Structure 1
Amino acid sequence: MLERDELPPLQSLVVFETAARLLSFTAAAKELNMTQPAVSQQIRSVELALGVTLFERIYRGVRLTDEGHSLLKMTQKHLKELRDALQKMKQKNRHPRINVATDFAFAAFRLMPRLPEFRKQYPNIDIRIQASQSEVDLASTEADIAILFGDGHYQGYRSEKLLAERVYPVCSPKLLDGKDPVGTFKELSALPLLKLNLEAGQQWMDWATVFRLNNSNMAPPEPVMEFDNYTLLVQAVISGQGVGLGWSPLLDDFIKSGVLVALEDFAVASERGYYMVTPNQQALSDPAIAFLQWIVSANDVNPTKA
């Protein structure tokens, strides 16, 4: 049995395993980012340490000797055990992480302002926010939890309503400075309207829907500006460039602080809203459960199953 000081260096065994697995010193050099002579030197050092020949040089390559086969089997087994043990050590010392998927609007206006409180309550849980401008593809995302806007029907997933949809026009106070209160659709139509462009499948309300649900005989005028991003639209509204549609769950903080004015006379509601969505066949981790409980309390709601 080899003594500890007679064992080949670990790096040499890694080089041997790679060359033996690929049956090529050149391919092993490429995978390990080494030169081919350096690989040959490492292999030779293992052979000298063990006093055996591990490879037979053949035309355009190498093949393993019986001793080489035996060493490859042992090396792969123990390298795997070593890698697994090191990975467990890393995981043990790493904070648990939750992947949360949602859209940019909810992330920017509802989630991010409240996350410091979650971090205060759960300092050892890391949060990764996967925000998307388009509709979140649940099949391809690695999220533990998704917070999605829609009707709550997601095949293969559990969903509970977090926030109901309520929509009304919003604008900056300076846009109304010196003007009479806006109480009719004629007065609303005289203001510059801002539009959010929707992708196929998205269910957000538009100006035409708001006018129709309010039983207006008027059609909305053409918008003065259009945006593909709701965050940019809100920034334009805040700067006084026009009137946009505000979703109550998203812009409540701006309205309460007086940054935005809600034109409540034109408010409409629907059965849609933001839902907490989780895999149907997968048990939630303790950190994920803690996050779900926190997001419910942070939004002061009683969630309902879809």
Structure 2
Amino acid sequence: MPPLNALRAFEAAARHLSFKKAAEELHITPAAISQQVRALEDHVGRPLFRRITRGLVLTEAGATAAPLLTEGLDRLAEASARMQDAPQSRILTVSVAPSLAAKWLVPRLERFREAHPDFDIRLDATNALSTFEEDGVDVALRFGGGSYRGLHAECLLAETAFPVCSPRLLDHGPPLETPGDLVAHTLLHIQWAMDTDTAPNWQMWLRAAGVDTVDPSRGPRFSHDSMAVQAAIEGQGVALAVSTLVVDDLAAGRLVRPFPPTVSEETTFGYYLVYPDDKAADPRVRAFRDWINAEMGHTRGGA
């Protein structure tokens, strides 16, 4: 058998078709990945990748072996997890903000159950930052800038933020054709976003839109994003929302965007999947990571 580290390096590089991304996943350098792959190629006596200008392409030998190796490593990780914690191995505890849980994650969880019937999800809906080992959390979904010291963090979705309102507001309220028209409308605020610089708020958005005639602090304030979104659905004003929390309401016609997309809706924030390094090989974490990346991909595409 070839060395296990070489097999892990090849499997990660084959999935990503990138030494750099494989190195980020395994927390080693791209040079180390390349060295391990070359050692494996020497061991088996044939090339497994073709190096091209823009990345990697699997050879026939590499393409034949890669899916079997992925399955084998998953089985090894599952066996290891069962030896360490057999009674809890089927339950994955996910820490997530209440608004993201209610507006986005819960409506999609049935698809995870269908794809992974051997695992059960336990949601810990809280705005408090998880300590993982102390509170029994396996993975967390966090909104922010991506700097989480001592933890593995991968960006699921770079967020945009934009105004939304009920279509009834456009039909029966004052004109709402340009950002300056917000002066005649009620702004709906999320309190925690107003108190921090790690989330978009009206002050940021109006400044980016070049509007200085609207008071960014006036209007009712809500402790959760989902409450502000619901108030907008009820026609009580205009909310500034991140795209993930309103994608379903926009698709259903409960909300509309009064203004066309502009550069002012781009943010430096996003949703991140965060977990301790020692959870990376856990089959529950790997299954959830792959599933939520796919779901966020559908959201990016507007599905």
TM-score, normalised by the number of residues in structure 2: 0.64
Is the contact between residue 206 and residue 216 of structure 2 (CA under 8 Å) also seen in structure 1?
no
For 1:133, give the aligned amino acid.
N
Query: Are the equivalent residues in 1 in contact too, given 2:152–2:276 (CA < 8 A)?
Result: yes
Partner of 1:175: 169
- CA displacement, residues 208-247 of structure 1 (integer Å, 9 cap, x when unaligned): 1101111223243553311112221111111111111111
Aligned residues: 215
CA distance in 2, matches of 1:181, 1:302: 30
SS in 1 for 2:154: strand
Contact 2:202 2:216 in 1 (8 A): no
Looking at structure 1, the residues matched to 217 and 88 of structure 2 have their Cα atoms a distance apart, in angstroms, of 53
1:208 and 1:302, CA in 2 relative to 1: closer, same or farther beyond 3 A?
A: closer
Q: Look up the match of 1:130.
A: 124
Report matched runs for 1:267-306 at 5 Å. Answer: 267-300=264-297
Partner amino acid, structure 1, of 2:243:
S
User: 1:92: Cα distance to partner?
Assistant: 5.5
Partner residue of 1:143?
137
1:244 is paired with a residue of what secondary structure? strand
Q: TM-score, normalised by structure 1?
A: 0.63
Q: Equivalent residue of 2:169, what SS? A: helix
1:207 to 164, 187, 202: 202
Matched AA of 2:116 = Y
Q: How does 1:78-157 map to 2 (within 5 A)?
A: 96-136=90-130, 140-157=134-151
The alpha-carbon distance between structure 1 residues 280 and 202, as it changes in their structure 2 partners (threshold 3 A), is farther
CA contact (8 A) 1:237 1:244 kept: yes
Confirm or deny that 1:259 pairs with 2:239: no
Match of 2:212 in 1: 217
- State the match for 1:190 in structure 2: 184
1:275-301, Cα deviation, whole Å (9 max, x unpaired):
111112444311211111011111217
Deviations 1:85-130, CA, capped at 9 Å, x for gaps: xxx9xx7677601011111121111111110111111122110111
* Kept after mapping to 2: 8 A contact 1:161/1:274: yes
Higher fraction of helix: 2
Structure 1 residue 264, shift from structure 2 partner: 3.7
Q: Identity, % of aligned pairs?
A: 32
SS in 2 for 1:276: strand
**Contact 1:104–1:132 at 8 Å: present in 2 too?**
yes
Task: Evaluate the alpha carbon distance shift between residue 169 and residue 138 of structure 1 in structure 2; reply closer, same or farther with a 3 A threshold.
Answer: farther
2: distance between equivalents of 1:270 and 1:136? 24
Equivalent in the alignment of 1:242: 237
Identify unmatched segments of 5+ residues in structure 1.
1-87
Aligned to 1:39: none
- Whole-angstrom CA distance in 2 between matches of 1:169 and 1:137: 34
The structure number with the bigger radius of gyration is 1
Quick one: distance in 2 between partners of 1:235 and 1:301? Answer: 23
Residue 189 (structure 1) shift: 1.8
Gaps (5+ residues) in structure 2? Answer: 1-81
- Following superposition, the deviation at residue 261 of structure 1 comes to 0.5
Distance 1:188 1:297, change over 3 A: same
Alpha-carbon RMSD across the aligned residues, in angstroms, is 2.8
- Does residue 161 of the first structure (1) align with residue 158 of the second (2)? no
In the alignment, the residues of structure 2 paired with residue 170 and residue 273 of structure 1 have an alpha-carbon distance, to the nearest angstrom, of 19
